[in-house]
């Protein structure tokens, strides 16, 4: 039997032929990932502890931030197709540098209502910068890889993204908290994000805009005479994209689980366990499992069709919430668990592990598939619009999670749990029952519409096992 680890890394040998621009793109993503993953882990708590917003308002503004990302992504992808890679990166990182630095220093200089309104305005600026980065990165990865190495290139990208998430959470989040404390540490994380934005600008300046790895995919220049709105309308009219968007929209239920990692988990962990709980360490478990899992099972899952992988992956991710929904009394009956803290640690670790396994099954290949089926002149438009369901899930959960946390996982709930003076319908576990029901709708909906979604779907170029299969 062949060694899956050796098989996986032998696949990366083909990247020897990748250009410097491919590696610069991965460096850009890595630097921005360090800033983004460390920021989203603490943003909800930052808005509460550093800016004075209550639970509902902090999560609502987190949701508004993502809502504006969604709104900006409607047009940013088409703007990137017109402006090109380097200019798009310069604008995106310029806005991110300004906003991250603003969030890092505002609580030091301002107070009260003035601070809150400045922070809210800065979040809007950051949302525009965030909207630029993802679609232009996907465009770069496609442009700087040949068809032969494209699937491997996207595997490398996803692997590096999760390595960055591990470093961001395990080292930056917890490191800043230990060095500067729980309050000032949040500001240090945002200031660090400012420095990473400058690194992104430096790498962007070195990119060669016209270095197409596949000459057949070279842009015709047609977009230079079009306005971004015209490109956007063209994409919306394409039947293939409409079916792809429906397919993605059906996944919104389970994508709420993904957004919980940023919106719900930080306050859930610190309130059912203890206030100095190491958020970074807990948040690093998921990307660590994904990195190890990618190495181990990518050679296996590449053999299956995309829709099958997505259904299985969504089902596993949704099922992970079952652990959090178990009544604490039931968990205390498990041999080896002697108190409430151990019970919560047990279900939290179980949920993280199962959820990570579901995520690594379907996420890497799907991103590569979307980029591969996009027309050469509209890659950024496709990637931006195809990412909208995930960003729609974030503002929805931003509004919903604030209400649920304030009702079922408010500050001070742990003493009631310890005394048993709380009914299941008023406990954090009931909150997870609600999320479980919403998450389960996604795989069920995709199964119900599977025949429609797979009928006459567009095929990716050279649809081999290594390049993905049509959904």
- CATH of residue 236: 1.20.1250.20
Q: Is residue 221 part of a domain?
A: no
Q: For the chain, how many structural domains are there in total? A: 1
Q: Is residue 1 part of a domain?
A: no
Q: Is residue 299 part of a domain?
A: yes
Over range 102-116, report the average pLDDT.
Answer: 95
Q: To the nearest whole number, what is the mean pLDDT of the chain? A: 82
Q: Is residue 82 part of a domain?
A: yes
Q: What is the pLDDT of residue 437?
A: 93
Q: Is the pLDDT of residue 84 over 80?
A: yes
Q: What is the pLDDT of residue 250?
A: 80
Instruction: Output the furthest CA–CA distance in the chain (Å, rounded).
Output: 69
Identify the helix (H) or strand (E) that includes residue 183: helix 174-205
Q: What is the pLDDT of residues 424-452, one digit of tens each?
A: 999 999 999 999 998 998 888 888 887 77
Q: Is the pLDDT of residue 401 over 70?
A: yes
Domain range for 296:
20-208+226-454
Q: What is the pLDDT of residues 335-363, one digit of tens each?
A: 999 999 999 999 999 999 999 888 887 77
Q: What is the pLDDT of residue 391?
A: 64
Q: Is the pLDDT of residue 112 over 50?
A: yes
Q: What is the pLDDT of residue 274?
A: 77
Q: What is the pLDDT of residue 245?
A: 74
Q: Is residue 469 part of a domain?
A: no
- Supply φ then ψ for residue 337, to 5 degrees: -100, 120
Q: Which of 127-141, 196-210, 346-360, 445-459 is predicted least confidently?
A: 445-459
By three-state DSSP, how is residue 431 classified? Answer: helix
The backbone region for 146, taken as left when phi is positive above 0, alpha when psi lies in -120 to 50, beta otherwise, is: beta
- Residue 192's nearest CA partner among 323, 337, 42 is 42
Residues 6+ apart with CB under 8 A from 193: 34, 35, 36, 38, 39, 96, 100, 104
Q: Are 100 and 123 in contact (CB under 8 A)?
A: no
What is the rounded CA–CA span in Å between residue 49 and residue 133?
28
Q: Is the pLDDT of residue 383 over 70?
A: no
Over range 73-92, report the average pLDDT.
Answer: 83
Which residue blocks in 84-146 are alpha helix, DSSP H? 85-109, 112-143
Higher pLDDT, 390 or 165: 165
Q: Which of 162-176, 193-207, 364-378 is predicted least confidently?
A: 364-378
Q: Is the pLDDT of residue 162 over 80?
A: yes
Alpha-carbon torsion (416, 422, 426, 432), positive or negative:
positive
Structure tokens belonging to residue 414: 């742990």
Alpha-carbon torsion (312, 67, 272, 426), positive or negative:
negative
Q: What is the pLDDT of residue 187?
A: 96
Higher pLDDT, 372 or 132: 132
What is the rounded CA–CA span in Å between residue 43 and residue 450?
37
Over range 136-152, report the average pLDDT.
Answer: 84
Q: What is the pLDDT of residue 176?
A: 93
Q: What is the pLDDT of residue 458?
A: 41
Proportion of the chain in helix, strand, coil states, percent, rounded to 5: 80, 0, 20
Over range 457-462, report the average pLDDT.
Answer: 39
Q: Is residue 460 part of a domain?
A: no
Q: Is residue 335 part of a domain?
A: yes
Q: Is residue 314 part of a domain?
A: yes
> How far lies 53's CA from each of 13, 112, 120, 121, in Å?
50, 10, 11, 14
> How far lies 165's CA from each of 120, 121, 311, in Å?
25, 27, 25
Q: What is the pLDDT of residues 35-63, one digit of tens each?
A: 999 998 899 899 999 999 998 899 889 88
Structure tokens belonging to residue 86: 């380097």
What is the rounded CA–CA span in Å between residue 234 and residue 275?
51
Q: What is the pLDDT of residues 241-291, one digit of tens each?
A: 777 777 777 878 887 887 887 788 888 998 998 777 787 888 888 888 888
Over range 187-205, report the average pLDDT.
Answer: 97
């Amino acid at each position: 039997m062949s060694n899956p680890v050796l098989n996986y890394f032998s696949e990366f040998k083909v990247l020897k032929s990748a250009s410097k621009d491919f590696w610069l793109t991965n460096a850009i993503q890595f630097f921005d990932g360090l800033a983004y993953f460390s920021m989203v882990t603490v943003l909800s708590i930052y808005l509460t502890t550093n800016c004075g917003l209550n639970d509902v308002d902090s999560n609502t503004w987190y949701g508004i931030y993502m809502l504006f990302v969604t709104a900006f992504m409607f047009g940013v992808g088409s703007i990137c197709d017109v402006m090109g890679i380097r200019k798009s990166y310069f604008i995106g990182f310029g806005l991110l540098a300004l906003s991250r630095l603003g969030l890092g220093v505002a609580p030091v200089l301002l107070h009260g209502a003035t601070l809150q309104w400045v922070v809210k305005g800065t979040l809007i600026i950051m949302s525009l910068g965030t909207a630029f980065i993802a679609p232009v990165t996907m465009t770069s990865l496609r442009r700087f890889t040949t068809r032969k190495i494209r699937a491997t290139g996207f595997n490398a990208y996803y692997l590096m993204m999760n390595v960055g998430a591990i470093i961001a959470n395990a080292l930056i989040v917890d490191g800043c908290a230990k060095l500067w404390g729980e309050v000032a540490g949040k500001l240090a994380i945002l200031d660090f994000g400012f420095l990473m934005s400058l690194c992104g600008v430096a790498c962007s300046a070195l990119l060669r805009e016209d270095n197409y790895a596949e000459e057949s995919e070279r842009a015709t220049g047609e977009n230079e005479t079009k306005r971004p709105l015209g490109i956007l309308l063209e994409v919306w009219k394409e039947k293939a994209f409409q079916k792809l968007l429906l397919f993605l929209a059906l996944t919104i239920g389970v994508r709420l689980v993904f957004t919980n990692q940023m919106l719900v988990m930080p306050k859930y962990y610190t309130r059912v366990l203890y206030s100095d709980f190491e958020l970074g360490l807990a948040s690093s478990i998921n990307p660590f499992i994904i990195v190890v899992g990618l190495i181990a099972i990518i050679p296996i899952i590449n053999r299956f069709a995309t829709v099958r992988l997505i259904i299985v992956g969504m089902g596993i991710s949704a099922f992970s919430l079952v652990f959090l929904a178990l009544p604490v009394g039931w968990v205390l009956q498990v041999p080896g668990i002697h108190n409430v803290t151990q019970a919560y640690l047990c279900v939290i670790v179980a949920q993280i592990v199962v959820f990570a396994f579901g995520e690594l099954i379907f996420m890497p290949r799907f991103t590569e598939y979307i980029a591969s089926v996009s027309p050469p002149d509209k890659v950024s438009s496709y990637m931006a619009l195809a990412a909208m369901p995930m960003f729609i899930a974030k503002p929805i959960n931003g509004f919903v999670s604030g209400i649920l946390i304030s009702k079922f996982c408010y500050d001070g709930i742990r003493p009631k749990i310890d005394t048993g003076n709380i009914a299941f319908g008023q406990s954090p576990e009931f909150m997870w029952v609600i999320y479980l029901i919403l998450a389960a709708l996604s795989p069920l909906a995709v199964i119900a519409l599977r025949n429609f979604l797979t009928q006459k779907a567009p095929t990716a170029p050279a649809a081999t096992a290594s390049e993905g299969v049509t959904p």
